[in-house]
C-alpha cells in the first residue's frame, strides 16, 4: 500500500521518442500532466516521460516548469482566443446570432475534459503563484472577457440588446460556463436528474438571450 506522501503515479509515455522530437509533443504531454497532477505536483521529468523524451531534451525547449506552463497555455488557449477575436471581428449577421455562435464555441472549448482539468488547476492552485496567476489572468481570462464584451457592445449599439452592464455580463458568462463544466464533469454521476452538455448549452443560451434582447414593450 503506498504511503500517504508517495508521488501520484504518472502514466507511461504513449510513444517512443523520435529523433526529431518537437516541442509540440512536449506541450501536449504538459497539458495532460498538469491537468492530472496540478501545477505544484507536476515535475518536468513527469512531462518528459509522458512525451517520450529525456528531461534534457525538454530543457532544450523550456528552462523551467513555469516556462513550460506558460508556453502550454499560449499554445492551447491563446490560439483559441485569437480565433474567437477574428470570428467576432468578421461576423456579418445579427448580434444575437453572433452571441449564440460564440457561446457554442466557448462551451465546446471549456467543456473539453482536458480544459476542465486545467480550469480546476487555475481555480485551485494559481493563487499560490501570484506572478503566474497575474499573467494567466491578463493573457487568457481578461482577453477572453473582452471578446464577450465586444459582442455585447455591438448588440447594444445596434439596438438588439438592452443597455446592460457589459463588464458584469461578460464576467458572469465566463464564470457560468466554467462552473457548469466543472460540475458536469465532477458531479454528474451523483446528479439524480443530470443534464447533457447540449441541455446546458441550450439553457445558458436561452437565459442570456432573454436577458439581453430588447422586447417590443421596451422599444416603445
Give per-residue pLDDT as tens, 97-106.
999 999 999 9
pLDDT in tens, 4-44: 455 555 554 444 444 455 788 999 999 999 999 999 999 99
In 3D space, the residue among 94, 97, 99 whose CA is nearest the CA of residue 158 turns out to be 94
Please give the mean pLDDT across all residues of the chain. Answer: 88
Q: According to the model, what pLDDT value does residue 19 have?
A: 47
**Mean pLDDT value across residues 187-208:** 94
Which cell numbers hold the place of 84? Answer: 474567437
Residue 79 lies in a domain: yes
Asked if residue 173 and residue 110 are part of one domain, the reply reads: yes
Angle of helix 95-110 relative to helix 142-157, nearest 10 degrees, comes to 160
Q: Strand, helix or coil at 189? A: helix
pLDDT in tens, 150-165: 999 999 999 999 999 9
Q: According to the model, what pLDDT value does residue 16 have?
A: 46
Number of domains present in the structure of the chain: 2
Express as a percent the part of the chain with pLDDT over 90: 72
**Can you give the residue range of the structural domain that contains 130?**
72-219
Q: Is pLDDT at 3 greater than 70 in this prediction?
A: no
Residue 4 lies in a domain: no
Q: According to the model, what pLDDT value does residue 75 have?
A: 87
Q: Which single residue is written with the C-alpha cell 454528474? A: 188
Q: According to the model, what pLDDT value does residue 155 have?
A: 96
In 3D space, the residue among 3, 6, 104, 18 whose CA is nearest the CA of residue 54 turns out to be 18
Residue where one domain finishes, among candidates 63, 81, 102: 63
Asked if residue 147 and residue 49 are part of one domain, the reply reads: no
For residue 216, what pLDDT band results from cuts at 50, 70 and 90?
low
CATH code of the domain in which 16 resides: 1.10.10.60
DSSP secondary-structure letter at 90? T
More confident residue, 84 or 23: 84
Neighbours of 107 (CB within 10 A): 19
Residue 7 lies in a domain: no
Asked if residue 142 and residue 192 are part of one domain, the reply reads: yes
For residue 50, what pLDDT band results from cuts at 50, 70 and 90?
very high
Asked if residue 115 and residue 91 are part of one domain, the reply reads: yes
Q: First CA to last CA across the chain, in angstroms?
A: 72
For the chain, the residue count is 220
Asked if residue 111 and residue 29 are part of one domain, the reply reads: no
**Mean pLDDT value across residues 73-90:** 92
Asked if residue 201 and residue 135 are part of one domain, the reply reads: yes
Residue 1 lies in a domain: no
Q: According to the model, what pLDDT value does residue 62 have?
A: 93
Q: Give me the residues paired with residue 161 across strands.
A: 213
Asked if residue 41 and residue 88 are part of one domain, the reply reads: no
Asked if residue 23 and residue 46 are part of one domain, the reply reads: yes
Asked if residue 78 and residue 26 are part of one domain, the reply reads: no
Residue 2 lies in a domain: no
Asked if residue 82 and residue 55 are part of one domain, the reply reads: no
Lowest mean pLDDT among 15-19, 141-145, 195-199: 15-19
| Alpha-carbon span 162 to 156, nearest angstrom | 6
Q: Is pLDDT at 184 greater than 50 in this prediction?
A: yes
Residue where one domain finishes, among candidates 23, 45, 63: 63
Q: According to the model, what pLDDT value does residue 199 have?
A: 96
CA atoms within 13 A on the CB side of 159: 4
Q: Is pLDDT at 131 greater than 90 in this prediction?
A: yes
Amino acid at each position: 500500500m503506498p504511503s500517504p506522501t508517495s508521488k501520484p503515479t504518472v502514466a507511461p509515455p504513449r510513444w517512443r521518442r523520435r529523433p526529431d522530437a518537437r516541442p509540440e509533443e512536449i506541450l501536449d504531454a504538459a497539458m495532460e500532466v498538469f491537468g492530472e497532477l496540478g501545477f505544484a505536483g507536476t515535475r518536468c521529468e513527469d512531462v518528459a516521460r509522458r512525451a517520450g523524451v529525456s528531461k534534457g531534451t525538454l530543457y532544450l525547449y523550456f528552462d523551467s516548469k513555469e516556462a513550460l506552463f506558460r508556453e502550454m497555455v499560449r499554445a492551447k488557449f491563446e490560439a483559441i482566443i485569437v480565433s474567437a477575436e477574428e470570428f467576432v471581428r468578421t461576423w456579418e449577421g445579427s448580434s444575437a446570432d453572433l452571441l449564440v455562435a460564440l457561446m457554442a464555441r466557448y462551451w465546446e472549448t471549456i467543456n473539453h475534459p482536458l480544459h476542465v482539468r486545467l480550469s480546476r488547476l487555475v481555480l485551485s492552485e494559481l493563487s499560490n503563484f501570484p506572478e503566474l496567476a497575474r499573467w494567466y489572468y491578463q493573457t487568457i481570462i481578461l482577453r477572453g472577457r473582452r471578446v464577450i464584451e465586444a459582442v455585447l457592445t455591438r448588440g447594444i449599439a445596434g439596438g438588439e440588446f438592452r443597455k446592460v452592464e457589459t463588464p458584469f455580463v461578460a464576467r458572469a458568462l465566463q464564470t457560468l460556463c466554467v462552473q457548469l463544466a466543472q460540475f458536469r464533469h465532477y458531479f454528474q454521476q451523483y446528479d439524480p436528474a443530470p443534464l447533457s452538455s447540449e441541455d446546458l448549452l441550450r439553457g445558458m443560451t436561452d437565459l442570456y438571450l432573454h436577458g439581453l434582447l430588447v422586447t417590443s414593450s421596451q422599444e416603445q
